[in-house]
Chain A
Amino acid sequence: MEAAQKQAAEKSGFSEYDYSNFYYGAGDDPINLLRPYADWYREARPNGYYLYQEALGSAPTTHVRVKNGSTGAWQDLLNLASYNYLGISYRPEVKAAAVAAVEKYGLGASGSPILSGTFDVHEEFTAELARFKDKEACIVFPTGYSANVGFISALMRSGDTIFLDQYSHASIVDGAILAKSKTIFFRHNNPLDLERKLANVKGKKLVVVEGVYSMDGDMCALPEILEVTKRHGARMLIDEAHSTFLFGPNGRGVAEHFGLDKEVDFHLGTFSKSLGGQGGFVAGTKDLIDYVMAFGRSRFFSCNLSPVLTAGLLAALRIAASEPQLRARLWSNVAYLRRRFAEEGIDIGKSNSQVMPVMVNNDAKVFAVAEKIQNRGLFLNPVTFPAVPKHKSRLRISVSAAHTEEDLEQAVKVIGGALREEGICR
């Protein structure tokens, strides 16, 4: 080992590195990075990374059993981490529908949707979903990830240009990569930067935005971005993973919230968030859906959604569509928690949705704060670089309609106490 390396090695510590250091490595062997990563992770995990991928031992209701990643002990915690925004996944009607479906169909679809994997329940579900979205047709994918990957690569080609918000979800970025189109990122929610980048670009252009961005919980500046998009002759895809079934007078999403549902060209969403299930969808004209059915490879070459899951989703969709009071309850909880956080001096950044980042802004402390909070009864996830910018580390909270005021008060008390002890809020 050379002198500078040796001197550096003596001062090495896990906190000097993060995931981004182990993504790229030059050399002749593709497994070169395994050993350095393993060495780092062995030290990083007990120092806070164990808080990721902790196993749950109960349904993702407002309270969950969590197997502590450090001790292996089960903890009963207030759940602020699950995407189950409307508390639907464990409703009796949903479970009953899934149980009935498993009796009727067995476990899985056992085939691609275009061959032997489409069942009557899939047709019923997509028809109801299209009615809910007020579109001619819908198509479902096995996951939200595959919906973005499949849809974007179905529509765009080499030589085309895709414009992505810099905070786009990985599935959107991967869709653009698979499409082999030129990809240009614009600054987050910044129509001026998008305009600068759209100017003078010829050919097919697709702008992709998200209804709600999952790390900051802020809504898309849709009216301004859509205006720029249209003026430059581009098409727009909105991914409403975190906003379908929640925003707008009918719960159709952020596009409906802004009264722009008809102006946005392509609508995408997931079932893993507000419906508490799994899968993704695209809604639009029949011609669009027929085309995606033919060219959406991530769907075409996957097994279809399990009919059991689909039956549960159908029941969940009917609840979301017929019980607007769930949305009202969610927004009441969001307003309550936002007010209480403000009173306690807790910074939730730019959030204006049910996704709230509690800003810690200290990469070195975020795991210690998260650990303290978990040991005091809350389940939530720390998020740090490279998932968010350096020194913008945070604890991400998902508010649910099912939370009670008592739950939210407990959250404020525990989070505020931990942040104050660390000198992060007043």
Chain B
Amino acid sequence: MSITRYGFRDVISGFFEFPTDNARRVLPRGIEPFELHHGTSIFAVIIFDFDESEVGEYGEVVYAVIVPPLVREGRLPQSAMFPWQVATTTKAAREHAIERWHLPHWMEDVEVEFLREKSRMTAKVKAEGAPALEMTVYEHSWQPVSHLYQSFQKDDSGSYLASILFEGDKSEHEDEKGRIVLHDSPFNRDLVLSEVYETPFREQWMRKGCQLFDPLLKL
């Protein structure tokens, strides 16, 4: 199978500190969290505005834990993640991602609204018709990048690894300007909301780029 390409207008992500106890509750046995500090793991929220894919345009929200990458022959990835909840704005996108990538999904469509301002981007997400989260990230300097990441998936059929190349213009900083509001929603049922620090220690924003997925590797 060849590379699968997803073009995006924007992707924003925030890395938030949350307790390793919480990370372990969402990780399957055998996958360890990458700890930022002793006892503190990294909750990554990634929100995509895809404008090109096999299933058309759609929005996607990913809740993930940053985990150690698998070291193999070839280039070392920038980082790796275990997505434990993925939500999309369309049924077609959801079915495609479950079938091809074995990603664990929120099984209803969500609404994602992107608010672009001069130096910041906000994404508002609704699930079941009610606000689930709002995340704002701020820009820094922009650089064209080609970064490799890994994503681990696990479902009843087995464990999988996706190698994903992100290409496009990227802004990244640790200025602690952004913010997340996590609402009391079933969408956030796996989180202890009071224990997620509301300011991301790292904010990333990519625009006018693409994700290139290698064929899924069964582990």
Contact = CB atoms under 8 A, between A and B. Distances in A.
Interface stretch (A1-9, A45-53, A372-380): A1-9
A111 to B, nearest CB: 33
Given A389-B174, A391-B140, A392-B174, A5 B37 contact: no
Given A183-B37, A184-B39, A5 B163 contact: yes
Interface string A30-65: 001100100010000000000000000000000000
Interface string A268-290: 00000000000000000000000
A26 B34 CA distance: 10
A11 interface: yes
Interface residues of B, number: 43
Contact of B71 (A1, A8, A25): A25
Contact of A2 (B69, B71, B76, B215): B215
Interface in B23-50: 31-32, 34, 37-40
Interface string A17-34: 100011011110000110
Nearest to B21: A182
B102 to A, nearest CB: 17
Given A26-B70, A183-B39, A390-B173, A2 B214 contact: yes
Interface residues of A, number: 37
Contact of B174 (A2, A3, A5, A391): A391
A234 B39 CA distance: 20
Nearest to A27: B71
A8 B80 contact: no
A149 interface: no
Contacts of B39: 182-185
Given A7-B165, A25-B76, 16 more contacts: A2-B217, A4-B163, A4-B212, A7-B146, A8-B146, A8-B165, A9-B74, A12-B75, A24-B68, A24-B69, A26-B31, A27-B70, A185-B17, A185-B39, A389-B201, A390-B202
30 contacts: A1-B74, A2-B214, A3-B214, A4-B3, A4-B165, A5-B74, A7-B146, A7-B165, A8-B146, A21-B76, A21-B78, A22-B76, A24-B68, A25-B71, A25-B76, A26-B67, A26-B68, A26-B69, A26-B71, A26-B80, A27-B70, A33-B71, A40-B76, A176-B38, A183-B38, A185-B37, A185-B40, A389-B175, A390-B174, A391-B175
